[in-house]
């Protein structure tokens, strides 16, 4: 926020749907000089799409909800490789947590909270979010293919320095070879130990039978 407010080259704005929202009211009522400057310079755009699209054309910053940005960009502005021309701020402001509103004393509330807590601890919520973003991106790419929509070179195959490092099965073949080699050696050693064990057992049985057939004195004489 400070860097944005101090920048002479940048403008900023938000979609009209964010007017009267918690973030908008916080900016409008804040006594912080940075927030006051941000609020005075806010431009209202008709939609989030228009706000993000303007960022690609000029020095413009779009103030939007963090979850909305993570859906809007892959769905509307990324190419088939998942690349886009945006830089997302690492800092967040106006944290607004979502929760379930239930009648006081609701019996299922504790069970729902336990399920949600377990899902978050297992990382499934984050994984589902990634899957949702990927799904909306694939749907947009599918629609563009069906409608024969061209994006003016945005889908050009990236060069070697730009390609993302995606792990595929053949990248792991070396590890599989090492595991198979180790298992083979272990199997050979196990077979050898098994043969030695049964060989020693056969000798022991023979000696035991010999002791039964010969008296102790004669056995000593034979040995």
* Domain hosting residue 212, numbered range: 172-222
pLDDT of 222 over the 50 cut: no
Q: 122-126, 147-151, 160-164, 194-198: lowest mean pLDDT where?
A: 160-164
Asked if residue 52 is part of any domain, the answer here is yes
pLDDT of 120 over the 50 cut: yes
- Cβ-based burial of 126 (10 A; exposed 0-12, middle 13-18, buried ≥19): exposed
Q: d(Cα 223, Cα 206) in Å, to the nearest integer?
A: 14
Query: Model confidence over 94-111: pLDDT tens digits?
Result: 666 667 778 888 888 888
Q: d(Cα 117, Cα 102) in Å, to the nearest integer?
A: 17
Q: Give the model's pLDDT for residue 155.
A: 46
Give yes or no: residues 91 and 112 share one domain: no
Asked if residue 162 is part of any domain, the answer here is no
Give yes or no: residues 47 and 110 share one domain: no
Asked if residue 165 is part of any domain, the answer here is no
Give yes or no: residues 142 and 187 share one domain: no
Give yes or no: residues 3 and 47 share one domain: yes
Q: Give the model's pLDDT for residue 170.
A: 64
- Cβ-based burial of 136 (10 A; exposed 0-12, middle 13-18, buried ≥19): middle
**Contact status, residue 47 vs residue 106, Cβ threshold 8 Å:** no
Asked if residue 166 is part of any domain, the answer here is no
Q: What 3-state class would DSSP assign to 34? A: helix
DSSP summary character for residue 89: -
Asked if residue 217 is part of any domain, the answer here is yes
Give yes or no: residues 210 and 145 share one domain: no
Give yes or no: residues 83 and 127 share one domain: no
Instruction: Return the closest-CA partner of residue 89 out of 12, 8, 166.
Output: 12
Q: What's the CATH code of the domain at 64? A: 3.40.190.10
Query: Model confidence over 11-22: pLDDT tens digits?
Result: 888 888 778 777
Give yes or no: residues 75 and 109 share one domain: no
Give yes or no: residues 86 and 121 share one domain: no
Give yes or no: residues 78 and 111 share one domain: no
Asked if residue 58 is part of any domain, the answer here is yes
Asked if residue 62 is part of any domain, the answer here is yes
Domains in the chain, number: 3
Give yes or no: residues 6 and 88 share one domain: yes
Which residue has 């990248």 as its token pair?
Answer: 171
Give yes or no: residues 127 and 203 share one domain: no
Give yes or no: residues 74 and 26 share one domain: yes
Query: Model confidence over 173-210: pLDDT tens digits?
Result: 777 888 888 899 989 888 888 888 777 666 555 555 55
């Amino acid at each position: 926020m400070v860097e944005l407010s101090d920048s002479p080259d940048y403008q900023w704005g938000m979609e009209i749907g964010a007017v009267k929202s918690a973030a908008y009211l916080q900016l409008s009522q804040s006594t912080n000089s940075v927030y006051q400057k941000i609020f005075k310079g806010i431009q209202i755009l008709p939609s989030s799409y228009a706000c993000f699209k303007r960022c690609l054309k000029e020095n413009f910053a779009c103030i939007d909800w963090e979850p909305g940005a993570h859906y809007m960009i892959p769905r509307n502005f990324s190419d088939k490789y998942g690349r886009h021309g945006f830089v997302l701020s690492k800092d967040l402001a106006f944290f607004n947590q979502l929760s379930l509103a239930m009648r006081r004393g609701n019996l299922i509330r504790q069970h729902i909270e336990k399920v949600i807590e377990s899902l978050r601890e297992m990382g499934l919520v984050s994984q589902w979010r990634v899957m949702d973003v990927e799904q909306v991106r694939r749907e947009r790419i599918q629609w563009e293919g069906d409608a024969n929509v061209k994006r003016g070179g945005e889908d050009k195959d990236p060069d070697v320095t730009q390609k993302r490092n995606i792990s595929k099965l053949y990248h792991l073949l070396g590890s599989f070879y090492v595991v198979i080699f180790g298992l083979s050696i272990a199997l050979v050693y196990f077979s050898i130990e098994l043969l030695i064990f049964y060989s020693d057992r056969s000798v022991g049985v023979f000696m035991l039978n010999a002791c039964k057939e010969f008296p102790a004195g004669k056995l000593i004489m034979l040995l």
